[in-house]
Chains A and B, each alone.
Chain A
Amino acid sequence: MIVAQRKPLQEIIEKLEKHKKVLIAGCATCVAECRSGGQKEVELLASQLRIAFADKKISIKISECCIERQCEPEMIEEHAQKVLEQDVVLSIACGVGVQEMSLRFADITILPGLNTTFMGTHAKQNSWEERCGGCGNCILDLTMGICPIARCSKSLLNGPCGGTHDGKCEISEDTPCAWALIVERHKEKGKLEQMESIIPPKDWSTSRDGGPRVLAREELE
């Protein structure tokens, strides 16, 4: 899923305080899963803002909505009437949702309330971890299902650099070394010799380096 994190409350307050009618628009999909932008977070943020603005004696009408998937125009449309009554929408969807809202409601200010961070998983309680770099040419078959593009801080292709220590990355004790994990899994399966072959330079043209990507499935038309 797409993982995002809410922007600091102070930053949101500063962006909103000059407006009169604000809609907080959540998204019930990925960002709800990572508890940043779903129905509950809409309610919580709305309460926090009401209290903050009351304290500052600023009068702003705060409304709430949660769109099933803010990245889907049809689902946005269901909430159009409510959106059109506002002068600003604080979207707490991922960056895709914010852009879809901006496209549909060109006359209304759409502000991002989250920082979209990565594609990842709910690795342990209250903790999400990056898993995929979306590079467009998956090599997980060569790396025992652990992605070095997303999970090695240098996106190395041929094993751990000299900086790995005790299974941790050189950048932080809290960051597992993806290549240490890959080596470990090869060892467990008795397949360490598979790591002897060189993975050649990656073709990054399937990644962001090839420009914004488009997926057109003509066969589905």
Chain B
Amino acid sequence: MKSGSRLEKILEQGNFAVTAELGPPMSADAEVIAKKAAILNGTADAFNVTDNQTAVVRMSSIAASAICVKEGIEPIMQMVCRDRNRIAMQSDILGAVALGIRNCLCLSGDHQSFGRAGKLLGHPGAKNVYDVDSINLISILRTMRDEHKQQGGDPIKSDVPLFIGAAWTPLGDPVDFRVIRLGKKIQAGADFVQTQGIYDVERFSDAMKKAREKGFHEKTAILAGIIVPKSAGMLNYMNTSVAGVSVPEKMIQRMSQAENPKEEGIKITIELINEIRKIEGVRGVHIQPIEWETAMQEISGKANLLPRPETA
């Protein structure tokens, strides 16, 4: 065991893992996390706690993850390279482990210009950091855990039990490079990988085939991402505006004709889970019901993913 996290145990036991997302609030209100945790509890094995996603200031992922631990659900703390240098990152990791956090997902992070969207002002004038990139961050965490060493070489006088995650955008541009980049993340030390949202199962199957040809599915646990759709408009937006997300036209049409789009969205999600499960090498799903945590119980239940297995 590298970390002893529930997610690691589930995968070690050969179970199909389920993760979901929990976005921290734009406030200092711990109650928001507690409420979400109560709704999500039992619907998945671990929950991604986002790190200032889209470069909007929210409660820190480290604090929100610690609240999750207290509330009895397992966090996957996300960490982006945008806001911290290697000193802050390693310090935060030591703190996170001390607070009982056992999973960390390493990401580049959206550019700070993303923060200005809709009614939000964000911080487009912020100075970004990007001292290291996500691949280097993975490698730094692995060195901290396996060699008890900081990136600079100084020793760490305790264990740093961490299950290290990475993101994979299998259908992102330039598509030829995506499998190579996945390979770099595995080489750096990614124990698990969560993909960008998949709607086009056929294209994802092709990407998985390429990953299998390199044996990547055996070197890391690949969890396929599914973003729960709510409307045809959302699917259309994802297809045209979200990098690396490809939505088949048929699915957009189906959603536009649905009497109750949210219900249809749950149906689509369940169908996607069932289809994606059949692909060789997929070891779990990462379900993202964006600000719709209440959908998780129904999704996991109807996809026959409940109850979640016990872990020793």
Chain A residues near B (Cβ < 8 Å):
153-167, 169-172, 177, 180, 183-184, 187, 192-193, 195-196, 198, 200-202, 204
The residues of B that contact A184 with a CB separation of less than 8 Å are: 174
Q: Which of B114-142 contact A (CB under 8 A)?
A: 114, 128, 130-136, 139-140
Asked, given contacts A162-B167, A183-B176, A192-B177, whether A201 binds B132 with beta carbons under 8 Å apart, the answer is: yes
Q: Is the CB of A158 within 8 A of B177?
A: no
| CB atoms of B173 and A198 under 8 A apart | no
B174 touches A183 (CB 8 A): yes
B53 within 8 A of A: no
In the complex, are the beta carbons of A156 and B130 less than 8 A apart? yes
Question: Bound state CA distance, A183 and B175, in angstroms?
Answer: 10
Contact of A164 among B128, B130, B136, B243 (CB under 8 A): B243
Residues A154 and B174 in contact, CB atoms below 8 Å apart = no
Residues in B lying within 8 Å of A, measured CB to CB: 81-82, 86, 108-111, 113-114, 128, 130-136, 139-140, 151, 167, 169, 172-174, 176-177, 180-181, 183-184, 187-188, 196, 243-244
Q: Is the CB of A158 within 8 A of B181?
A: yes
CB of A71, distance to nearest CB on chain B (Å): 26
Partner of B174, one of A180, A198, A201: A180
Q: Are A159 and B169 in contact (CB under 8 A)?
A: no
Do A170 and B110 touch (CB < 8 A)? Answer: yes
Complex Cα spacing A177 to B108, Å: 15
Q: What are the residues of chain B within 8 A of A170 when measuring CB–CB? A: 110-111, 114, 243
Given A170-B111, A201-B132, decide whether A159 and B173 contact each other with a Cβ distance below 8 A: no
Q: A162-B167, A163-B243, A164-B172 are in contact. Are A198 and B184 (CB under 8 A)?
A: yes
Taking a contact as CB atoms under 8 Å apart, the answer to whether A157 and B136 are in contact is yes
| Distance between Cα atoms of A214 and B293 in the complex (Å) | 55
Task: Give the Cβ gap from B230 to chain A, nearest Cβ, in Å.
Answer: 22
Cα–Cα, bound, A161→B136 (Å)? 13
Q: Which of A154, A166, A201 contacts B173 (CB 8 A)?
A: A166
Contact of B131 among A171, A195, A201 (CB under 8 A): A201
For the complex, give the distance between the alpha carbons of A195 and B135 in Å. 13
Complex CA gap A192/B177 in Å reads 8
Enumerate chain B residues within 8 angstroms of A155, measured Cβ to Cβ. 130
CA distance A17 to B111 in the complex (A): 40
28 intermolecular pairs with C-beta atoms under 8 Å apart:
A154-B81, A154-B130, A156-B130, A158-B135, A158-B181, A158-B184, A159-B135, A159-B177, A159-B181, A160-B177, A163-B108, A164-B173, A164-B174, A164-B243, A165-B172, A165-B173, A165-B243, A169-B111, A170-B110, A170-B114, A171-B111, A171-B113, A177-B173, A183-B176, A196-B184, A201-B86, A201-B132, A202-B132
Picked from B113, B173, B187, the residue with its CB within 8 Å of the CB of A180 is B173
Interface hub of A184, A192, A200, A201 (most chain B Cβ within 10 A): A201
Identify the interface centre among A159, A167, A202: most chain B CB within 10 Å of its CB.
A159
Residue in contact with A198 in the complex, picked from B81, B130, B135, CB distance below 8 Å:
B135
In the complex, what distance in Å separates the CA atom of A171 from the CA atom of B109? 12
Q: In the assembled complex, how far is the CB of residue A98 from the closest CB belonging to chain B, in whole angstroms?
A: 23
Query: With a CB–CB cut-off of 8 A, which chain B residues contact A164?
Result: 172-174, 243
Q: Taking A170-B243, A171-B111, A200-B136 as contacts, is the C-beta distance between A192 and B86 under 8 angstroms?
A: no
Bound Cα distance from A200 to B188, whole angstroms:
10
Q: For the complex, give the distance between the alpha carbons of A161 and B133 in Å.
A: 9
Q: Apart from A162-B167, A201-B140, what are 10 other A-B pairs with CB-CB below 8 Å?
A: A157-B133, A158-B133, A158-B135, A162-B172, A162-B243, A165-B172, A172-B113, A192-B176, A196-B180, A200-B136
Chain A residues contacting B86 (CB-CB under 8 Å) are: 201
The docked-state distance in angstroms from the alpha carbon of A187 to that of B177 is 10
Q: Are B130 and A160 in contact (CB under 8 A)?
A: no
**Min CB–CB distance A197 → chain B (angstroms):** 8
User: Which residues in B have their C-beta under 8 angstroms from that of A153?
Assistant: 111
* Interchain nearest-CB distance for A215 vs B (Å): 24
Residues of A within 8 A of B180 (CB): 159, 192-193, 195-196
A159 to B169, CA, bound (A): 12
What is the distance, in angstroms, from B170's C-beta to the closest C-beta of chain A?
10
Across chains A and B, which 10 residue pairs bring their CB atoms closest together, nearest first?
A162-B169, A165-B243, A161-B108, A158-B135, A156-B133, A201-B136, A201-B132, A183-B177, A183-B174, A154-B130
Residues of B within 8 A of A167 (CB): 173-174
With a cutoff of 8 Å between Cβ atoms, the chain A residues found around residue B177 in the complex are 159-160, 183, 192, 195
Residues of A within 8 A of B81 (CB): 154
Min CB–CB distance A130 → chain B (angstroms): 15
Tell me, rounded to whole Å, the shortest Cβ–Cβ distance linking B163 to chain A. 20
Query: Which residue on chain B has the smallest CB distance to residue A167?
Result: B173
Question: B114: which A residues are within 8 A, CB to CB?
Answer: 170
